Chains A and B, each alone.
Chain A
Amino acid sequence: MRRRKVKITPLDLFVVLLLVGAGLYLAYRMKVGLHYKWKWGVIPQYLFRFDQENNKWVANLLMQGLFTTIRLSVWATILATILGTVMGLFRVSQSLFKRLTGRTYVELIRNLPPLVLIFIFYFFVSDQIMPVLGVDEFVRSRSESTQAVLTFLFAPPSLFTAFLSALITLAVFEAAYITEIVRAGIQSIEKGQWEASYALGLSWWQQMRYIVLPQAMQRILPPLAGQLISTIKDSAVVSIISIPELTFQGMELMSATYLTFECWITIGVLYLILTLSLSLAVERLEIYMRRSEA
């Protein structure tokens, strides 16, 4: 691929100068106006700390939060993909009841503020559903090694139920968007594909399974990967229910150190590292998909 030549116009220069000026002014205001004293030195120890007992470096508050965010986002996206696919199929189903169910679900979720949804849903799931399922006893009664695996994949036993509830809440929220991605993917397949497979005697489900979904998959995958990025960002909202993910840890750190800027800038950078690297990957995926389509 040939690179496009970069041309800098005087206008670009002017804009850059303006931005630099604004940045400098902001720094000046903080220095003079707020008398803010930067204490960046405090931050690193909250990323990693040296464990005297085991004589090695371990993740501390912020990194633990980051890992929780990753766990939460990955599992939520996987769960949401399953739910979203089912609901997406409902949305294009021949049965009016299923179509209505899919439609109601999507409209309800998308038209409520996520925070409200979290409150309603989280307390419902954690208070009503989890005890019925007996998740807590189940986890606590596992052997130590099983608990270690569960801790690595999900959360420590003490937090397991809360984590699972947050995970389900987040998944149900994201699945509404995935439903629409799946629906759009399915509906983007030409009518002729349906007609040809119908004429050959395939059932609706066979048409879906062998003809439509495999083709729709190519168009669904890039936006689906994009949805993972949204999930990472949206996962911050579960800090409100005390899940120790990145944002929650940030608030903890804030109340301990009062280092507003250092703390939130660090958190921001950590989120950016996650999301930007993912969006680069998605971009590659899109290019790859387009190539195989042509």
Chain B
Amino acid sequence: MQEKTLGDYIITVDGISKTFPNGVCALCDFTTKIRRREVVVVIGPSGSGKSTFLRCLNGLEDIDSGSIVIDGIPLDDNKKNRLEIRKEVGMVFQLFNLFPHMTVLENVNLAQRLVRKKTKEGARQATMDLLNKVGMPEKATSYPSQLSGGQQQRVAIARALAMMPKIMLFDEATSALDPEMIGEVLDVMKTLAREGMTMVVVTHEMGFAREVSDRVIFIEEGRIVEEGTAEHFFTNPREERTKLFLSQIL
């Protein structure tokens, strides 16, 4: 594996807590720092707070306490800051969430036109480049419903990348896919990782973690239980709970 050098801290999460109205503490005093170009894989049992963590990073979920700073911008109540962060942070969802009434081209174009204020031609050019990158240039005029799950997810990745984000969040991007399609999506994600994208990836694909991640975080009940390299998790996990969890997913 080629070496890449990690940069300064681009994400600083300091003691954040999130409790849902039903009293569930999804994140409890959660602290971590992520460097530029770092690929962090987040694992943990269902309901441990993985999605909540990702959703807090781009403001989809409000935190109750603590602080989040993304590339020097504090994620607070300031609308301008929030918009800036949304522009810098791309997100890929488990269920793709493509816009069904738009073609692939329009899906990828939309935010470039509305948020980045690109010209029609400029957006189209960038979109075609991205569709090439995710391996489906011939699908530009198709509607999401005409695509397979794997293809839809690759379009969703292209759509997020079209905003030229500095950080990409993936929330179980391959969990809703048929096994034969997981590979094609993981390949795109691996390419991104190798190109130096800062990524926070919730996944149970430990192969992906081993191949491209710099760090794995295991969380349970809203807290970090253990973190280290993928190799560390494979060879000598420290905590009993980690061992138990790994034995279930491996």
> Which B residues from 70 to 113 make CB contacts under 8 A with A?
83, 86-87, 89-91, 93, 95, 97-101, 110-111
Instruction: Please pick, from B90, B98, B99, B100, the residue contacting A199 in the complex, using a CB distance under 8 A.
Output: B90
Instruction: Please pick, from A190, A193, A198, A214, the residue contacting B60 in the complex, using a CB distance under 8 A.
Output: A198
With known contacts A201-B111, A202-B115, A206-B114, A195–B87 Cβ distance under 8 A: no
B 169-205 to A, binary, CB cutoff 8 A, 1 in contact else 0: 0000000000000000000000000000000000000
Number of interface residues of A (CB under 8 A): 17
Q: Are A199 and B160 in contact (CB under 8 A)?
A: yes
With known contacts A195-B60, A210-B110, A200–B97 Cβ distance under 8 A: no
Q: Are B58 and A199 in contact (CB under 8 A)?
A: yes
Report how far A190 CA is from B96 CA in the complex, Å: 12
A 210-222 to B, binary, CB cutoff 8 A, 1 in contact else 0: 1100110000000
With known contacts A200-B86, A201-B163, A192–B100 Cβ distance under 8 A: no
With known contacts A201-B83, A201-B163, A196–B58 Cβ distance under 8 A: no
Q: Are A200 and B111 in contact (CB under 8 A)?
A: yes
Report how far A210 CA is from B86 CA in the complex, Å: 18
Q: Are A202 and B99 in contact (CB under 8 A)?
A: no
Q: Are A195 and B93 in contact (CB under 8 A)?
A: yes
Instruction: Please pick, from A196, A201, A214, the residue contacting B97 in the complex, using a CB distance under 8 A.
Output: A196
Q: Are A199 and B110 in contact (CB under 8 A)?
A: no
Report how far A199 CA is from B157 CA in the complex, Å: 12
Report how far A199 CA is from B89 CA in the complex, Å: 7
Report how far A177 CA is from B100 CA in the complex, Å: 28
Which of A195, A200, A206, A210 has the largest count of B CB atoms less than 10 A from its CB? Answer: A200
Report how far A201 CA is from B116 CA in the complex, Å: 9
How many Å from the CB of B190 to the closest CB on chain A? Answer: 22
Report how far A44 CA is from B44 CA in the complex, Å: 80
Contacts of A199 in B (CB 8 A): 58, 60, 86, 89-91, 160
Q: Are B60 and A200 in contact (CB under 8 A)?
A: no
Q: Are A193 and B97 in contact (CB under 8 A)?
A: yes
**Is B159 located at the chain interface by the 8 A CB criterion?**
yes
Report how far A193 CA is from B96 CA in the complex, Å: 10
Report how far A197 CA is from B58 CA in the complex, Å: 12
How many Å from the CB of A275 to the closest CB on chain B? Answer: 32
> Which B residues from 155 to 169 make CB contacts under 8 A with A?
156, 159-160, 163
Instruction: Please pick, from A190, A200, A203, the residue contacting B163 in the complex, using a CB distance under 8 A.
Output: A200
Q: Are A192 and B101 in contact (CB under 8 A)?
A: no
Contacts of B101 in A (CB 8 A): 214-215
A 174-200 to B, binary, CB cutoff 8 A, 1 in contact else 0: 000000000000000010110111111
Instruction: Please pick, from B90, B100, B160, the residue contacting A215 in the complex, using a CB distance under 8 A.
Output: B100
With known contacts A201-B111, A201-B163, A196–B93 Cβ distance under 8 A: yes
Q: Are A210 and B58 in contact (CB under 8 A)?
A: no
Q: Are B97 and A202 in contact (CB under 8 A)?
A: no
Q: Are B95 and A210 in contact (CB under 8 A)?
A: no
Q: Are B100 and A200 in contact (CB under 8 A)?
A: no
Contacts of B60 in A (CB 8 A): 195, 198-199
With known contacts A210-B110, A210-B114, A214-B101, A201–B87 Cβ distance under 8 A: yes
**Nearest 7 interchain pairs by C-beta:** A196-B97, A200-B111, A192-B97, A199-B91, A201-B115, A201-B86, A201-B87
Can you sample 11 A-B contacts with CB below 8 Å?
Answer: A195-B60, A195-B93, A196-B98, A196-B99, A199-B90, A200-B90, A200-B110, A200-B163, A201-B87, A202-B115, A215-B101
| Interface residues in chain A, defined as those with a beta carbon under 8 Å from any beta carbon in chain B | 190, 192-193, 195-203, 206, 210-211, 214-215
| Interface residues in chain B, defined as those with a beta carbon under 8 Å from any beta carbon in chain A | 58, 60, 83, 86-87, 89-91, 93, 95, 97-101, 110-111, 114-115, 156, 159-160, 163
Known: A193-B97, A196-B99. 10 other contacts (CB 8 A): A193-B99, A196-B93, A196-B97, A197-B99, A198-B86, A199-B86, A200-B86, A200-B160, A201-B86, A206-B114
